[in-house]
Amino acid sequence: MASQPVLERDQIAPPAPRPHKRPWYRSRAAKGALYASPAALFVLAFFVIPLVLVGQMSASEWPLIQGNQGINLPDNYANMTDDRLFWPAVWFTIKYTVIVVVLLLGLAMAMALLVQRRRRGVGLLRTAYFLPVSLGLASAALLFWGFYSPSIGPIDPILESLGLIDEPIRWLGTPNMALASTVFLIVWKFAGFFMLILLVGLQAIPGEVYEAARVDGASRVQTFFRVTLPLLRPSIALCLIISVTGSLLAFDQFFILTNGGPDNSTVTVVMLLYRKAFRQFDLGTAAALSIVILVVLLIINIAQFRLLRRGSEG
Amino acid sequence: MATMGMRNAIGNTSFWVFGGGLAIMFLVPLVWTTVASVSPHGATAQQEGYGFGNYGTLMDYDAGLPRYLWNSSYVTILTVVFVLALSILGGYAFARFRFPGRDVLFLLIIAILMVPYVTVLVPLWVMFGEIGLRNSLLGVAIVLTLYQLPFGMFMMRISFEAVPKELEESALVDGCGTFGVLTRIMLRAVWPGMITVGLFAFLFAWNDFIAPLFLISDSSQFPLPLAIATLRQQTMGAIDFGATQAGVVVMALPCLILFVLLQRHYVRGFMSGALKG
């Protein structure tokens, strides 16, 4: 059917001179592929091949120094839970994630609501909230390591001079204090980051929506729960994905502040992996652990993406 | 009218009490570390009065502060250059060309975000050992580039897509090749995106701790965060808190300055929806 008119035209008019046929490598598609090829090669060499290798390593006996000693499937996976710190580390990582996500997103939301409207001085507040974000996590952890230390920490002397405490608080000395102190560091460091994401979301809500809510006689609290929160759902889901992923992979902050202590009470899953690889020299089990982490994160993130999509549809 | 004024005044006061209190909470640790780095403490080089003794300790520690500053700068420059080069060429390709494997490649690059750092670092430790990139800052820069690539590629792609096609077509008619279009026309149009991508890559590379921790064992090759973290736990019992805080200030200063100067470009990273991918 489609070729019919073309045939007719060919019969009427003399065949048009064929355009000079370009060789394939001069075509536009080839040029596009050429521009994308550095990134493609890079991703192949340093992402795809390592992922294949980590799969092989997780199925092999692979001591740090000697290297590949052959397939031992499924020993690395089966023996993973033999480490007496495995379940405590999993439990601690989950507990830490729940606490951080709730506190972090709660505070970030309060801060975003506080500074969402333009008024005098609001820019200064936004900048103050955001400054810690530009610091590195390791720098921030080292800062707080001094801040909490009994030698130069500023909080104990102030509390002592006010007569509120008799002896220094052991900010990192007990399991619960170490967790609380680390959570404070993380909230301090990242609240501004999530505030910014929520702020962008808040400012995308058209003013007419609030106007309509006001005309309908909705109170401020009603407006927040019935109008703002539902419309903000994609931004909240995004914050959730980033903060949950980041917390489940927590490492720097505990490595620097507590090094897993006291009494291994703050060993996270990633710290367990680091110790497996570079303290116990067992790369095979470390690889297996990293694959388990990857799969768990994929499942959690797919679940959260679903939430995100439903949010933007509704 | 009077009650309205009253309510506004109360609203304003609570805004400033709550908002200002929070601001102080966020600023106190930053102010404290600056003061602590020049304050006298026992068991540090700064024994009496205020001064830069702790910075002196840092200057002479192990391979010396200049060496660590250079290591960090080197990793950061390499990462920024790699990320920009790959994502400018790739972003241009994704935005303006159709070629086989285009969508698969883009998805693959975004998928990097789904894979935890450590899952890639363990096999890369082995691979880099075989190709001589273990204990090398180039190896660290490669890992950092990999993890900045999703954001960089997304950002550059939407930057190129936002350039009007007419701009490009007139240049093509004038006899420019596609590469000439890129260098003479497109780059001028997408430079704000380039600054955003470069800034994110800078902050990430300058501050990263895990990649060098996994890949570098020779302390003269340490970037700053790893060097400072090692300094503080060097000798049992003799922890130098003062020098640690001096190190925090040295690490934080470039980030704070860049951030204050380029705040607008940083925020663009969020506005673009790049993080919503």
DSSP A105-126: HHHHHHHHHHHSS--TTHHHHH
pLDDT band of residue B5 (cuts 50, 70, 90) is low
Predicted pLDDT at A6: 45
Q: Which range among A46-60, A225-239, B78-92 shows the weakest confidence by mean pLDDT?
A: A225-239
Predicted pLDDT at B276: 45
> What contacts A264, CB < 8 A, 6 or more positions away?
A85, A88
Predicted pLDDT at B1: 47
Q: For B154-206, how does the pLDDT look when each residue is reduced to its tens digit (9 = 90+)?
A: 999 999 999 888 888 887 777 788 888 888 888 988 999 999 999 999 999 99
Number of Cβ atoms within 10 Å of the Cβ of B34: 16
Predicted pLDDT at A163: 79
- Chain A, nearest residue to B23 by Cα: A128
> What contacts B180, CB < 8 A, 6 or more positions away?
B171
Q: For A124-179, how does the pLDDT look when each residue is reduced to its tens digit (9 = 90+)?
A: 898 899 999 989 999 999 999 999 988 788 888 888 888 788 788 888 989 999 99
CA distance to A20, B175, B190, B216, per residue, from B183 (Å): 28, 14, 11, 37
Cβ–Cβ gap A46/B124 under 8 Å: yes
**Over 60: is that where the pLDDT of A14 sits?**
no
Cβ–Cβ gap A147/B112 under 8 Å: no
Amino acid at A22: R
Cβ–Cβ gap B241/A251 under 8 Å: no
Token couple for A110: 């309060």
Q: CB–CB of A249/A293 below 8 Å?
A: yes
Q: Which of residues 274-303 of A touch B (CB under 8 A)?
A: 274, 277-278, 283, 286-287, 290-291, 293-294, 297-298, 301
Q: CB–CB of A136/B206 below 8 Å?
A: yes
ipTM of the complex: 0.90
Average pLDDT, chain A: 87
Predicted pLDDT at B239: 74
Cβ–Cβ gap A131/B149 under 8 Å: no
* Residue from the list A42, A129, A144 with its beta carbon closest to the beta carbon of B23: A129
Q: For B73-129, how does the pLDDT look when each residue is reduced to its tens digit (9 = 90+)?
A: 999 999 999 999 999 999 999 999 999 999 999 999 999 988 998 999 999 999 999
How far does A225 lie from chain B, in Å, by closest CA? Answer: 21
Q: For A273-297, how does the pLDDT look when each residue is reduced to its tens digit (9 = 90+)?
A: 999 999 999 999 999 999 999 999 9
Decide: residue A262, CB within 10 A, 0-12 exposed, 13-18 middle, 19+ buried.
Answer: middle
> What contacts A154, CB < 8 A, 6 or more positions away?
A147, B32, B36
